[in-house]
Amino acid sequence: MTSMFELRDITKSFGTNQVLRGVDLDFEPGRVTALLGANGAGKSTVIKVLSGVHEYGGTISLDGAPITVDSPGTARRLGIEAVHQKISDGVIPGLSVAANLLFDEIVTNETSRFASSRSLLPKAKEMASILDLGWTDAQFKGDVDDLLLADQQLLLLARALVRKPRLLILDEPTSALSKAEADRLFEVIEQLTEAGVGVFYVSHRLREIDRIADELVVLRDGQIRGRYEPPFEWSSALDDMLGQTRAETEERNDEMQGTSDVLALQGVQLLPKADPLHVTFRAGEVTGVFGLLGAGKTELASGMFGAAPFKVGAMTLNDSPYSPRSPSAAIKAEVFMVPEDRAAGTLVGDWSIARTSSLPFLSAVSSLGVLNAKSEHDVGEDVIKSFGVVANSAKDPVIALSGGNQQKVVVGRWLKEQPAVMILDEPFQGVDIGARHDLVVRVREVAKAGSAVILMSSDLEEIMQAADRVLVLVDGEIQHDTYLSQTSREEILDSLVTS
């Protein structure tokens, strides 16, 4: 029998960089096919081929008949809906939330060509209800830009789900979502599969794959290296994914407990309605700040970094008053931060790895303001080596790296130094297990060497793997503060709810 969509020997290169080398994939109605692969394996590229973004070699056939997917429009007509990895590739700032929800319908004339903004509202609400997005009218009418990252991701999902396509493609849809939101998404996916929709699901989160996938395909270096039926054989799947390497998932027994207080917050108010919070971060340990989306992690991080100074409250750094009005002030005080949104927060045009890495520390690679190309290049190479970035050389543009490798660069450039405080806001978004492991090791080294490391994440796994001490943040208030050895996953999750 022939399956719904058949991909045969799909190839794709960017310049001389061959990313896909003959990929075969089958998608069946009502089946969830999960794709696992290291950063740069080519997952997003497969998706972009299938959704008509890239030209490609090889054949795609639908119900046995060969087809060509030459544009996103064609893909849609063929019943392929994709939610791409980058949220910024989906939402359209400047248009209302409603218009964004209905944008596909607007383009395909499923709404009247002369529809007024008002007349869009009912349909938009209907769509939002799929994911129980309880937005107010004001929000529906307002600019989509006023939504949080998470809400924007949910909007894009709703937009795709409502179309009940033949094949639904989701590229790391949960990397910005809280657990509850993710669960809701899975329920909907289950409903859709019952209705015969085929789903192509890309994620780094093994638990999610375990939960929803009917089939697991592993991609490495642009080739399929393994296919699995549930229950999935994780150890061998991870081998396929990472080549000979073996990702250690062993118990941790290396907890560090810092002694000297470095950064202390007194009466800081994170969110308008939240109680003031008092907390101290210590050198020599990794403090994980765990909280759902919108809990205030980014507020906390950008407050301490001076990117968005706290309105209420005070801070001391090594017992002297510390109130940075700008990141540059914070950096002078040796407080560093890796921001949450990689594209908007760190990537500069087509800059090479070397340039991107040296940007925060230009004085170090220049004398009397004149830059030293050599030492700059070395900085780049250093980052590549110590973080195992997949790249030819420090001259490669960061933008051409895969998501995970980009993240290694932007985290790595800060860890060359030995800061007093290192803040990482969602540093593992879209980072595969291998890459995450590398990052964790280095981060912990920095802590061991005497920095106070603060790691914000809405993914408990990440906290458990990287942190010594955990703070649970709920609506801008600290609900739980303890060392991991003295608590359990259950206790932490409870502290989320019992507030």
Partner 1 sequence: MSTTANTDTTGTKGLAPAATRAFSAREFAVRYGFIIVTILFYAFFYWTEPAFRLETTFFSMMKFTSVVAITGLGITTAMTVGGLDLSVGSTAGMSVTISAMTMVIYAQSAPLAVGAVLVGGLLIGAMNAFLIVVLKIPDLLATLAMMFSIQGLKLIPVDGQSVSSGLILRDGTVAPGKFTEGFLKLDRGFVGPVPYPAILMAILTIVMWFFLTHTKWGRVMYAIGSNPEAARLAGVKVGLYKAGAYMISGVMASISGLILSSRIGQGDISAGASLLLDGIAVALIGTSVLGANRPNALGTALGAVLMGILITGTTIRGYPFYLQDVVKGAVLLLALVFSFTLSRKKHRHQPAVPM
Residues 282-301 that bind Mg ion (CB under 5 A): 297-298
Residues 6+ apart with CB under 8 A from 30: 193, 194, 195, 196, 197, 198
Per-residue contact flags (x/-) with Mg ion for residues 298 to 327, judged by CB under 5 A: x-----------------------------
Q: Is 457 in the site for Mg ion (CB under 5 A)?
A: no
The answer to whether residues 408 and 389 touch, using CB atoms and an 8 Å cutoff, is yes
Give me the count of residues in the chain.
Answer: 499
CA 144 to chain centre: 20
The one among 69, 157, 289, 347 contacting partner 1 by CB under 8 A: 347
Is residue 245 near partner 1 by the rule CB under 8 A?
Answer: yes
Q: How far is the CB of 290 from Mg ion (least distance, A)?
A: 12
**Which of 33, 51, 85, 346 contacts Mg ion by CB under 5 A?**
85
In the region spanning residues 245 to 264, those forming contacts with Mg ion, defined by CB under 5 A, are: none
Q: Does the protein bind Mg ion through residue 151 (CB under 5 A)?
A: no
Instruction: Show contacts with ligand ATP in window 453-482 (CB under 6 A).
Output: 458
Of 271-300, binders to partner 1 (CB under 8 A) are 271-273, 292-294
Which of these, 231, 451, 254, 232, lies nearest to 337 by C-alpha position? 451
- Taking CA atoms, 9 is separated from 20, 24, 47, 215, in Å, by 9, 5, 15, 19
The CA distance from 290 to 195, in Å, is: 36
141 vs 164, beta carbon nearer ligand ATP = 141
Segment 176 to 195, residues that bind partner 1, using CB under 8 A? 178, 180-181, 184
Q: Which residue's CB is nearer to partner 1, number 31 or number 437?
A: 437
Among 105, 208, 215, 340, binds Mg ion (CB under 5 A): 340
> Beta strand 285-290 with 452-457: parallel, antiparallel or unpaired?
parallel
Shortest Å, Cβ 231 to ligand ATP: 24
- Cα separation, 39 vs 28, in Å, equals 26
Establish if 238 lies at the interface with ligand ATP (CB under 6 A): no
CA distances (Å), origin 456, targets 69, 257, 459: 40, 18, 9
Q: Which residues, numbered 297-336, are part of the site for partner 1 (CB under 8 A)?
A: 305, 307, 326-328, 330-332
What residues have CB less than 8 Å from 250, skipping those under 6 apart? Answer: none
Best CA proximity match to 86, nearest among 17, 10, 153, 182: 153
CA–CA gap between residue 183 and residue 199 (Å, rounded):
16
Residue (204 or 416) nearer to Mg ion, CB? 204
350 near ligand ATP (CB under 6 A): no
Interface with ligand ATP, residue 294, by CB under 6 A: yes
Nearer to Mg ion by C-beta: 44 or 269? Answer: 44
DSSP designation for 341: -
Nearest to 472 by CA among 457, 453, 486: 457
Q: Which stretch binds partner 1 (CB under 8 A): 57-65, 203-211, 280-288, 356-364?
A: 356-364
Which of 195, 314, 362, 449 is the binder for partner 1 (CB under 8 A)?
A: 362
Q: What is the DSSP letter of 368?
A: T
Quick one: what does residue 399 bind among partner 1, Mg ion, ligand ATP, none, with the CB cut-off 5 to 8 Å set by partner type? partner 1
Q: Looking at 114-212, which runs of residues are DSSP E strands?
A: 167-171, 198-202
Is there binding between residue 85 and ligand ATP (CB under 6 A)? yes
Residues between 142 and 171 that touch partner 1 (CB under 8 A): 142-143, 145-148, 151
* Chain-centroid distance, C-alpha 437: 16
* Shortest distance (Å) from residue 26 CB to partner 1: 25
Using CB under 6 A as the binding criterion, the count of chain residues that bind ligand ATP stands at 34
Buried b (16+ CB within 10 A) or exposed e, 176-205: bbbeebbebbeebbeebbeeebbbbbbbbb
Binder of residue 37, out of partner 1, Mg ion, ligand ATP, none (CB less than 5 to 8 A by kind): ligand ATP
Q: Binding residues for ligand ATP, per CB under 6 A?
A: 14, 17, 19, 37, 39-45, 85, 148-150, 271, 291, 293-299, 340, 400-404, 426, 430, 432, 458
